[in-house]
C-alpha cells in the first residue's frame, strides 16, 4: 500500500487481511501498537467495534466485515492515484503481479526479483508459482513467464531463450547397460517415463533426426509425475530419461548425470515473457520487462546459468 496504508483505514485493512496487528505492523513498517491505535481511532470515529479479539485470535465483527468489503476498492483506487503521481516523478512503485512455472520461479525468477527489488524497493511483488496457464486478462496478473508461445495472438510475447531437451542417465546405469548412440537404441534400454499430472498422458520423447523433429514412444518399468522425482530416479541409476538441460544442468556439472545422444537433442520450444499490451503499461511493469531482458542470457537453458554476470 501507499501512504494511505499508514492511515487508520489502511491499518484496519491490513490487519483484516493478515489477521493480526503484529503482521499488519510488519507489512506497513510501523509498530503493532501504532496499528492498534489507528484501528481504535477508526472505531471511535464510527462508534462501532471492528474486531473481536482474544489472546489467541482476532476476527472481524459484522461492522468490520462491512467496512472491509466497502473500503477495499476506494482504497485501491487511492493507491493507484499515488502510483500515477509516482510515475510522473519517475519513481517505480506499486504492485507487480507475476506468474511463472514452478521450476522457473524458484531457480530464476526469485533471484531476478531479489535484484529488481534492490533497485526499486517501493515495488510490491506477488508471484504465482504455478504450472497452470493463467489468463492475463481475467486473472490479476501483469506479466507471465510462459513455456511456448501463447495461443492468443493479441498478447505480447518476448522470447527469452530456447528450451532444448536432452536424454540423460547416471554413469552407473551407462556402465551397466551401455550408452545408446541413436534414438532407435532406446528399445533396448530402461526408459523412465513422465506422466503429465493434469492430463495423465505420458511424455513422448523428442529428438532431432536428420535435421527434422521426431517423436519416439519409449517403454520402461518406472513412471513418475514429478520432474524432481525423475531426476532422483535418474541419479539412482534406474534408467534413461529426458529433461530440459536447464533443469538437469546442476547434476550434469556435478557428474551425477551424463547427456547421451547429444547430436539428437531437440529444441522443442522457447521461454517467453508475456503481457497483454504495449500500451499504457505502468512504469513498474515496463521497468521489470527491461530488467529481465537485460539479465536473461540467450539460449542459456542448454546447461548453463541463466542470469548475466
Q: What is the mean pLDDT of each run of 10 residues along the chain (309 residues)?
A: 59 87 82 89 90 82 89 74 61 84 85 91 88 68 84 83 90 96 95 88 92 91 93 97 85 93 86 80 87 80 62
Q: Where are the domains of the chain?
A: 3-88, 94-161+270-302, 162-268
Alpha-carbon distance of 12 to 7, in angstroms, equals: 9
C-alpha cell at 130: 504455478
| Domain 94-161+270-302 in this protein, CATH class | alpha beta
Cα 9 to Cα 36, 93, 95, 174: the distances in Å are: 11, 21, 19, 65
**Which of 161, 135, 165, 138 is closest to 148 using CA atoms?**
161
What CATH code is assigned to 162-268? Answer: 3.40.190.290
Max Cα-Cα span within the chain:
80
Judged on CB neighbours under 10 Å (0-12, 13-18, 19+), 55 is exposed
Alpha-carbon distance of 137 to 159, in angstroms, equals: 20
| Domain 3-88 in this protein, CATH class | mainly alpha
Q: Is the pTM of this model over 0.95?
A: no
* 162-268 matches 94-161+270-302 in CATH topology: yes
Task: Quote the pLDDT of residue 269.
Answer: 75
Q: In this predicted model, what pLDDT tens digit does every residue of 94-153 receive, in sequence order?
A: 888 999 988 888 888 999 999 999 988 888 899 988 877 776 666 678 899 988 777 777
Residue 273: beta bridge partners?
145, 158
Amino acid at each position: 500500500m501507499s501512504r494511505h496504508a499508514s492511515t487508520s483505514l489502511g491499518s484496519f485493512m491490513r490487519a483484516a487481511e493478515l489477521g493480526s496487528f503484529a503482521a499488519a505492523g510488519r507489512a506497513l513498517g510501523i509498530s503493532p501498537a501504532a496499528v492498534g491505535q489507528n484501528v481504535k481511532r477508526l472505531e471511535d470515529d464510527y462508534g462501532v467495534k471492528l474486531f473481536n479479539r482474544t489472546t489467541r485470535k482476532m476476527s472481524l465483527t459484522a461492522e468490520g466485515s462491512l467496512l472491509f468489503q466497502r473500503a477495499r476498492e476506494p482504497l485501491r483506487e487511492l493507491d493507484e492515484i499515488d502510483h500515477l503521481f509516482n510515475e510522473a516523478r519517475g519513481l517505480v512503485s506499486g504492485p507487480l503481479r507475476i506468474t511463472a512455472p514452478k521450476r522457473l520461479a524458484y531457480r530464476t525468477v526469485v533471484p531476478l526479483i531479489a535484484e529488481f527489488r534492490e533497485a526499486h524497493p517501493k515495488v510490491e511483488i506477488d508471484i504465482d508459482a504455478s504450472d497452470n496457464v493463467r489468463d492475463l486478462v481475467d486473472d490479476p496478473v501483469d506479466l507471465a513467464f510462459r513455456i511456448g508461445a501463447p495461443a492468443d495472438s493479441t498478447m505480447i510475447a518476448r522470447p527469452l531463450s530456447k528450451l532444448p531437451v536432452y536424454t540423460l542417465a547416471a554413469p552407473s546405469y551407462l556402465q551397466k547397460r551401455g550408452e545408446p548412440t541413436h534414438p532407435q537404441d532406446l528399445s533396448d534400454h530402461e526408459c523412465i517415463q513422465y506422466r503429465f499430472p493434469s492430463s495423465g498422458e505420458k511424455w513422448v520423447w523428442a529428438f532431432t533426426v536428420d535435421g527434422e523433429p521426431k517423436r519416439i514412444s519409449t517403454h520402461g518399468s518406472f513412471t513418475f509425475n514429478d520432474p524432481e522425482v525423475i531426476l532422483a530416479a535418474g541419479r539412482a541409476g534406474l534408467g534413461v530419461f529426458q529433461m530440459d538441460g536447464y533443469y538437469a544442468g546442476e547434476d550434469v556439472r556435478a557428474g551425477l548425470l551424463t547427456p547421451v545422444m547429444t547430436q539428437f537433442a531437440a529444441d522443442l520450444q522457447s521461454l517467453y515473457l508475456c503481457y497483454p499490451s504495449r500500451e499504457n503499461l505502468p512504469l513498474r511493469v515496463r521497468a521489470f520487462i527491461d530488467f529481465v531482458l537485460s539479465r536473461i542470457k540467450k539460449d542459456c537453458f542448454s546447461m548453463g546459468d541463466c542470469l548475466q554476470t
